Structure 1
Amino acid sequence: MSVARQRISSGSSFEELAGYSRAIVDGDWVFVSGTTGFDYKAGTISPDVVEQTHQCFRNIEWALGQAKAGLKDMVRIQIHLTDAADFKAIAPVVGQYCREARPANTTVVAQLIDPRMKIEIEVTARRDMSGPPDRPGRNR
């Protein structure tokens, strides 16, 4: 049975400007775009890299939830930091959110589009669609 592709948008001005989606659901796979520490509801970003990391995961968790998935479903995470010295501060935060899933991880140092951004995280998840049809998250 073929499952239609679903686009998930957070309403971010970046998504509209560059013509992309916060996440794409394709069958059991969920691809979450690079997500920064912007609080999209408030339209703000903290200057603190640790708080930006927490906000990245809140944004990612929201997108995964829209896809009927969760952080436990992550299989791959790619982290982009603007300063390698920040790794020591953000590693325990990443561990907090990734401990259950233990996804494959790549972390690189790169310049980001907006100088206020200190971290950007991209996630791939695979939804667990096993179990009874009335199981939360099951949509087949």
Structure 2
Amino acid sequence: MPRQNILSGSPWEDKMGYCRAVRIGNIVEVAGTVAIVDGEKVRADDAYAQTNNIIERIAKVLEDAGVSLSDVIRTRIFTTDINYFDDIARAHGDYFRDIKPTTGIYEISKLVSPDYLVEIEFTAVVA
């Protein structure tokens, strides 16, 4: 089966040797993704906006891979503070309320920058 690497243009892709997503056959795996924290629309203290930003951006990545959010079967959500659960869940539900992928949410000690509260991985399968 051919492999399709989907790059997002992040400088980390070459530094670390990874890509935003990989599609092989009908499976698409999306790397852990954090928000673009701009201090206005997406702030370092706003888990809802960060989660929303991540999912909006990944919808485009999935489109580049020939799939959509409706093909997502699993999300893995990492947060540096589980007290943001309601905000993260609300944003996730805005996109996945009817799709209902399996998911997990995990509190971790930190992400690559203190501005990031949330990181999400996605798995999509085209039926």
Alignment TM-score, normalising by the size of structure 1: 0.82
From 7, 26, 29, the counterpart of 2:27: 29
Q: CA separation of 1:45/1:13 partners in 2, compared to 1, >3 Å: closer, same or farther?
A: farther
The alpha-carbon deviation at position 27 of structure 1 amounts to 0.2
1:46 to 43, 46, 65: 43
- Structure possessing the higher radius of gyration over alpha carbons: 1
Residues in 2 aligned to 1:16 and 1:55: alpha-carbon distance in whole angstroms: 23
Q: CA deviation at 1:13?
A: 1.6
Deviation at 1:114, TM superposition (A): 1.2
Aligned residues, how many? Answer: 123
- Structure with the greater relative contact order (CA < 8 A, sep ≥ 6): 1 or 2? 2
With structure 2 as the length reference, what TM-score do the two structures score? 0.90
AA partner of residue 115 (structure 2): R
Root-mean-square deviation over aligned CA pairs: 1.7
1:136 aligned partner: none
**Cα separation, 1, equivalents of 2:25 and 2:97:** 25
Q: Distance in 2 between matches of 1:20 and 1:61?
A: 19
Other-structure match for 1:90: 88
Q: What is the distance in 1 between the residues matched to 2:36 and 2:81? A: 18
